[in-house]
Homo-oligomer: A and B are copies of this chain.
């Protein structure tokens, strides 16, 4: 199956429903699943129909809007409406713990609701849906700006490693790390991508490889344990990854295995960049140790999809994320520019963010 590149819509609004590409079965099959309310969207996030911090944020915003639309037809009493919408937001907040964009999007929707709490309920639902659309559109716009900032860091001919999928599929479009590659190619630079397969969910092998093949950007697939060897052979010139949450000191939570790549990149003097929309910065958290790391079910590790290859009787650990200390991060690529954690410029930027979010 081949899709026009601008037609990959990770999330789309169709006939009063949210439709999301089912990322669990890509690239073997391509289908949209439709969602009608907060519970369904929360389950879609939890089961990884949709994944990637920015995409999760957008999905959650739509989840709130869908819930409001669902409730106006069933609940005329303002107090009960409020209680039920609040409950829906609570369910969404419980879906996955690590990506801060989820909480950021829910907060934004909640604040808008508070601001418009005097409105009639149907008007409120319309306002919430408009905001979900806006968050979605902003995300694409932000990724394009981020892509241009990041593309300046890449030279033609570079072989760039990425881990997991921080692509169009992880966002509302264009992607964060893969958006940097798209923007570099759009600037006429020849780059080739090395994709870690990213066990256990295989986002690299299935999603990043698929996006790059669609885009016509050369992509080489490796297993997660090959990155160090390729670096030691001089076959990697830079690393660009996405992130699920960045602490105020620049510590980066991202897909499990990112930390290992960062340590290896440092050993080999290879720049390690993190593509990070500002919404992914959690200014509340002083450092990465405070980031909750989701532990997922064992069956992801003992096999893949419906096959199991590990023997019965084995224990399993399945942390979905790890934390890379800020000292290993060469630069955070954001829509507001590139920031180097630990520098004065970075600290000033974080202070400004805190002020904007009324934390100071």
A27, A206, A293, A313 pick with most chain B CB within 10 angstroms? A313
A311 to B220 Cα, complex, angstroms: 11
Known A-B contacts A28-B309, A314-B221; the reply to A319 vs B229 at CB < 8 A is yes
Contact with A222, one of B209, B222, B263, B301 (Cβ below 8 angstroms) = B301
Chain B residue nearest to A262 (CB atoms) is B228
Please state if A221 and B263 are interface contacts (CB–CB under 8 Å): no
Contacts of A257 in B (CB 8 A): 223-226, 228
Known A-B contacts A228-B259, A260-B264; the reply to A221 vs B322 at CB < 8 A is no
> How many whole Å from A30's CB to the nearest CB in chain B?
11
Closest 6 CB pairs of A and B: A225-B257, A228-B260, A199-B223, A229-B322, A213-B313, A224-B225
Q: A206-B310, A229-B293 are in contact. List 16 more A-B contacts (CB 8 A).
A: A195-B314, A205-B302, A206-B309, A209-B310, A209-B311, A220-B316, A222-B301, A222-B316, A223-B224, A226-B317, A226-B322, A228-B257, A228-B322, A232-B259, A260-B260, A304-B307
Contact with A199, one of B206, B225, B319 (Cβ below 8 angstroms) = B225
Contact with A27, one of B206, B256, B311, B315 (Cβ below 8 angstroms) = B311
A74 within 8 A of B: no
A315 to B198 Cα, complex, angstroms: 16
A196 to B198 Cα, complex, angstroms: 14
User: In the complex this chain forms, how many copies of it are found?
Assistant: 2
A218 within 8 A of B: yes
Give chain A's interface residues, CB within 8 Å of chain B. 27-28, 163, 194-200, 202, 205-206, 209-210, 212-213, 218-230, 232, 256-257, 259-260, 263-264, 267, 293, 301-302, 304-305, 307, 309-319, 322-323
